[in-house]
Structure 1
Amino acid sequence: MLQMPFSRRPVLMLLVAAGIGLFASLLPARAAEADSFIRQVGNETLKALEDRSITQEKREDLLRNLLTTHLDLEAVGRFCLGRYSRSLTDAQRPEYQRLFEDYLVKVYSQLLAQYNGETFEVREGARSAGSETIVESQILRQNGPPIRVEWKTHEKNGKPLVTDVVVEGVSMAFTQRQQFESVIQNNGGKIDALFAAMRKQIARR
């Protein structure tokens, strides 16, 4: 086995130690930034939901702004399409991204319409998981135990963005991926079948 000359090994060890020290010093700052980011997302979402008199159209506008500001729509959309993302033509790719955004807005605005005074609490101490940072939080309900929610985030162009939300251990992105893949598989592997299903969901009132 090749070994470095003895005189250079202490230099390498010093560099490794310095790197570890630098990484360790960055972790608290990264965790604090992630905690603050998710707290901001949660508060903005709750603020958007407080007005129970807003129309469905207004709720969708508020949610679209939240998604386009805080979610990595491109990365999440690609993940949800799974292996079929490689099958998209140049014409289908932008069409899918538009449909994916509209689909999320429609589905989650309907879910958020069920808001009933729940509050949101971020648990301090985000943890690193490779290139992602995971922030733990709870949704506190008036009737019933808290709901545990984990937020996965990463940095893109110097800005933190959400890549997944895990509710009581269930990944929203992975669940959506399974649904999309099921639609495509049940229709002979045709991505256009998924597009049609998404348009149908988007058109629902």
Structure 2
Amino acid sequence: MMNKAQKLLIAGCVAALAGLGAVQGALAQTMPSPAETDVVIFGDIGAVKVLTYPARFVSANLETREAVFESADGKRWEIVVPPGVADLAALQNSEKLTVRLLPAVVTNIAKAQSGKPGEVMNQTVVNDGLPGLPEGYGLLSVTLTTPFIGIEPETGSITFEGPDGQVRTMRVFDAKVLQILKTMDPGDLAQISYMEGLSITTP
């Protein structure tokens, strides 16, 4: 059974990782191009990309855990760092770091049998890690009820409104989930499950 401190830490992780999703969506056009793109195989999910960004630490808001980084070309960008991923107070200005992002990937889709549009059915931190990911990855697993805004079965791309109100576009890689996607249409109310994550390490 978790003690109060553990429960508070997990709650903080959930809030911060949820913020990560909002920031990734809002800054999609301003993030630098990754220095490396690795493909990791996750069991039933399939092949997903992990994006690597060499960066220097600029500043951080310790309350909101919003951190600003700078890439080699001087371009600055901001992300929300979950508790447990990095000790922001210990980071030094201009410190060299490696930031790795796991962009959100869809893990399951089903026609909604219950729930209201926008309702989060499940939101948890996956703290046992996944094979192929660097140590210290903060992972968030979300299931929510929401209507599809757009569906592209050929590419596995779906668009919907996330729990933070941001419009999100994600990819489906799992062959079984792709077959389910072909039975759905824009406007259908669905329960969508996805996972996303972040790690920050020294080079």
TM-score where L is the length of structure 1: 0.28
Structure of higher CA gyration radius = 1
Q: Which has the higher helix share?
A: 1
TM-score normalised per structure 2: 0.28
